[in-house]
């Protein structure tokens, strides 16, 4: 198996500098050889700060560099489609942040491009690689709860709770902003991973802070995107699932997943508002027994912890990506999973706009049409 070092270009220098660059630097098989910023002077400054040999202000220039074998993209969502398309058409491997694109048709086109060009593309759905989540998945697979009867998910945060936080792309519908995109994209992926596909859904999206200050002129500007999302899902196996998301509340229970079955209960939760990766614990009980914490096995724990827990999970995503590159095959979570997450977001907007339940096609059916 090929164990060579892979030359990676980092496109997007917000989350890219916080997570991607330190994650790639910590991984023994990746080397950051280029960085992108739309301002070439900024790109050069970032490259100098991290000892990166190449700085570019064009993704087209990035993919021409011989040392670039793979590209990670962590720009805002409205830039994903064109950038990822350039990367895939150049035959480079891709690591893409979520939400995948602005709509499912764009995501499907990227999936088809990756398939045709035989490159490995992964989406950074990092919850699949967090120790507590992996234990939770193992217990569900083992039949701990028996037949599922009810699933309840709460994901509450305060990242947008400050009314003085200025208007930016997150407040723009056409640029892919909103809590459904930033948090719901993750939630839809882990629902698919843990519980299977969705048969139909109903969504209600709201905006608690309707205006924010436009930094360009100091005036209030209407917010076009959601910061609260209430969703009801009927899974393919008939299980009801309630998903509640907010980016504007101060809640002690920040991220909680509860599964109730005919044999038992499983709960996964974290109260760590500052680090949404570290701090997850698992509790379980069989019928008639009290809820008790279940210890996470050592073999599932991160081998190295970082102050920013997202780096620990990201390195495991990179491990998966490299495995796909080595074996020249698609891996999970790939753009296929990215398409499904995006499809569920599109249908959630449709449901909200029509105030009705919306049927969800199977992923295979959607990809074939």
Q: What angle do CA 107, 76, 331 make, to 5 degrees?
A: 40
Residue 66, judged by CB atoms within 10 A of its CB (0-12, 13-18, 19+), counts as exposed
What the chain holds in terms of domains, given with CATH numbers, is 6-126+312-336 (3.40.50.720), 130-304+341-349 (3.30.360.10)
State yes or no: pLDDT of 2 exceeds 60: no
Question: Across residues 199-225, what is the average pLDDT?
Answer: 98
State yes or no: pLDDT of 1 exceeds 50: no
State yes or no: pLDDT of 318 exceeds 80: yes
Which of helix, strand or coil describes residue 134?
helix
Residues 36 and 64: their CA atoms lie apart, in Å, by: 13
Question: Across residues 91-109, what is the average pLDDT?
Answer: 98
State yes or no: pLDDT of 70 exceeds 50: yes
Helices 185-195 and 131-141 pack at an angle, to 10 degrees, of: 30
Say what the pLDDT of residue 132 is: 97
State yes or no: pLDDT of 105 exceeds 80: yes
Say what the pLDDT of residue 3 is: 76
State yes or no: pLDDT of 273 exceeds 90: no
Query: Which residue, among 277, 274, 304, 253, has the nearest Cα to 186 in the 3D structure?
Result: 277
Residues 23 and 19: their CA atoms lie apart, in Å, by: 6
Question: Across residues 276-296, what is the average pLDDT?
Answer: 95
Q: How would DSSP label each residue in 306-365?
A: -SSHHHHHHHHHHHHHHHHHHHTS--SSBHHHHHHHHHHHHHHHHHHHHTS-EE---HHH
CB of 163 closer than 8 Å to CB of 212: yes
Q: Pull the structure tokens for residue 209.
A: 């802070």
Question: Across residues 177-194, what is the average pLDDT?
Answer: 98
CB of 292 closer than 8 Å to CB of 278: no
Q: What angle do CA 349, 354, 360 make, to 5 degrees?
A: 60
State yes or no: pLDDT of 193 exceeds 50: yes
Instruction: Locate the DSSP E strands across the chain.
Output: 6-11, 30-36, 54-56, 70-73, 93-96, 121-123, 148-156, 198-206, 211-213, 220-222, 228-235, 240-246, 255-261, 264-270, 281-286, 292-294, 358-359
Question: Across residues 221-240, what is the average pLDDT?
Answer: 98
Query: Which residue, among 214, 41, 15, 42, has the nearest Cα to 126 in the 3D structure?
Result: 15
Say what the pLDDT of residue 276 is: 79
Say what the pLDDT of residue 274 is: 80
Say what the pLDDT of residue 298 is: 97
Say what the pLDDT of residue 275 is: 84
State yes or no: pLDDT of 67 exceeds 80: yes
Residues 188 and 55: their CA atoms lie apart, in Å, by: 35
Say what the pLDDT of residue 339 is: 98
Cα end-to-end span (Å), the chain = 36
Percent of the chain exceeding pLDDT 70 equals 99
Burial call 348-358: b when 16+ CB within 10 Å, e when fewer: bbebbeeeeeb
């Amino acid at each position: 198996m090929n164990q060579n070092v892979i030359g990676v270009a980092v496109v997007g220098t917000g989350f890219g500098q916080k997570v991607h660059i330190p994650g790639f630097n910590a991984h023994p098989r990746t080397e950051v050889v280029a960085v992108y910023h739309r301002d070439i002077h900024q790109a050069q400054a970032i490259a100098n700060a991290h000892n990166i040999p190449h700085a570019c202000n064009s993704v087209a220039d990035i993919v021409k560099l011989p040392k670039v074998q793979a590209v990670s993209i962590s720009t805002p969502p409205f830039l994903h489609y064109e950038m990822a398309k350039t990367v895939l058409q150049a035959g480079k491997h891709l690591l893409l942040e979520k939400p995948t694109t602005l709509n499912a048709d764009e995501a499907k086109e990227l999936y088809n491009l990756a398939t045709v060009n035989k490159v490995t593309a992964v989406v950074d759905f990092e919850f699949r690689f967090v120790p507590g989540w992996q234990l939770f998945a193992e217990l569900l697979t083992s039949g701990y709860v028996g037949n599922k009867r009810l699933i309840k998910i709460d994901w509450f945060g305060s990242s947008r709770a400050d009314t003085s936080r200025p208007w930016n792309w997150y407040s723009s519908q056409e640029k892919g902003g909103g809590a459904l995109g930033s948090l719901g994209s993750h939630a839809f992926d882990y629902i698919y991973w843990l519980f299977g596909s969705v048969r139909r859904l109903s969504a209600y999206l709201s905006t608690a802070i309707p205006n924010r200050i436009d930094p360009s002129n100091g005036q209030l500007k209407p917010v076009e995107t959601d910061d609260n999302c209430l969703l009801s899902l009927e899974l393919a196996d008939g299980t009801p699932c309630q998903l509640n998301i907010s980016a504007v509340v101060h809640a002690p229970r920040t991220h909680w997943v509860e599964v109730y079955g005919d044999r038992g209960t499983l709960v996964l939760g974290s109260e760590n508002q500052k680090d949404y990766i570290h701090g997850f614990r698992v509790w379980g009980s069989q019928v008639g027994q009290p809820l008790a914490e279940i210890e996470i096995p050592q073999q599932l724990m991160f081998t190295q912890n970082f102050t920013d827990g997202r780096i620990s999970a990201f390195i495991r995503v990179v491990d998966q990506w490299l495995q796909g590159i080595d074996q020249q095959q698609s891996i999970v979570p790939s753009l296929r999973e990215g398409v499904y997450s995006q499809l569920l977001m599109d249908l959630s907007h449709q449901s909200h706009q029509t105030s009705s339940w919306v049927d969800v096609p199977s992923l295979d059916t959607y990809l074939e049409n």
